[in-house]
Copies of this chain bind each other. A is one copy, B any other.
Amino acid sequence: MERIGVLTSGGDAPGMNAAIRAVVRCAAYHKIKCMGIEQGYEGLINGEIHPIRVRDVGSIIQRGGTILRTARSERFMTPEGRHEALEQCRKNKLDGLIVIGGDGSFHGAWELQKLGMPTVGVPATIDNDVNGTDMTIGFDTALNTALDAVRRLRDTAHSHDRLFIIEVMGRNCGFIALQTAVAGGAEYAVLPEYGLDLNRLCSKLDASRASGKNYSLIILAEGVMSGYELQKKLLEKGPQYKATVTVLGHIQRGGSPSSYDATIASRMGAYAVNCLIDGTYGVMTGLQNGHMVPVHLPDTWEKKKMLNPELLHLVEELSI
């Protein structure tokens, strides 16, 4: 292993830069040269590849986004595109490739692995929807960003005796919504894993008012419906369910990584390099029960990661 490449792919997540830094530094520690690939698989196909050195990653550990930028690549979806990508790997003499991204990016990594390119994935997405790892890079930061917003909205909700719907990200998974509901002390979480039970939600809001609460917060995962749709459905149930909507949107994707994310990004980036050195390819760097383990890439998407039912029960128990 003399030379490896690193790219970021899919949606950006806080901590991607910390992972890039760890890859570059750990590679240098083991006397391996590192090449940075711009704009994900698209840049790989285009040969946007340049050396990335120890000093180039100084102080990026705290920066949001990704200095290598990221993109979605239509061309990489085709066999031709993937062969061009492989060709670039060979042309640049890459003995290994590290792909930082979510499950979509890992499909791509697996394709390259199948073509013979030693590839390791590092899970980075705010959605936490990657099987085989307890946490993905960026999830904890997004949770804190969402929680900060919930706390601000609570000020206004309380001051105006209002019902708020707060739409958070998470694609088809409820990880962000569920933990934000628990940590934010919300009355209700609407999650893709369970769908919307409008009558149950209304009963809960009735009970909350009856118990003396003058305001309520509903956390809605974007994967169920939009905040405006839920607002409409609630209003059809009666004027007492009139709600104000806030869509947190892309602010959840940015910002400096939290301590937790900067730490696992550092661990995962370094572990990915060690996997390549040890000849453990076609895997993702998984965090399981506090330990780094290699996870066969197809396992990361073939099984759906489950919500913790304990948390769901907590939202109900603690919002009385």
Contacts and interface: CB of A to CB of B under 8 A. Distances in A.
Interface in A291-320: 292, 308, 310-311, 314, 317-320
Given A26-B318, A62-B185, 4 more contacts: A144-B259, A156-B253, A182-B267, A245-B249
A267 B314 contact: yes
Nearest to A273: B317
A21 to B, nearest CB: 7
Given A262-B183, A270-B318, A65 B159 contact: yes
Interface stretch (A52-60, A190-198, A218-226): A52-60
Interface in A128-185: 134, 140, 143-147, 149, 151-156, 158-161, 164, 179-180, 182-185
| Majority secondary structure, A binding face | helix
Contacts of A234: none
10 contacts: A12-B159, A61-B183, A64-B155, A144-B258, A147-B259, A147-B262, A151-B255, A183-B260, A248-B251, A266-B314
B320 A155 contact: no
Contacts of A47: none
A39 B292 CA distance: 42
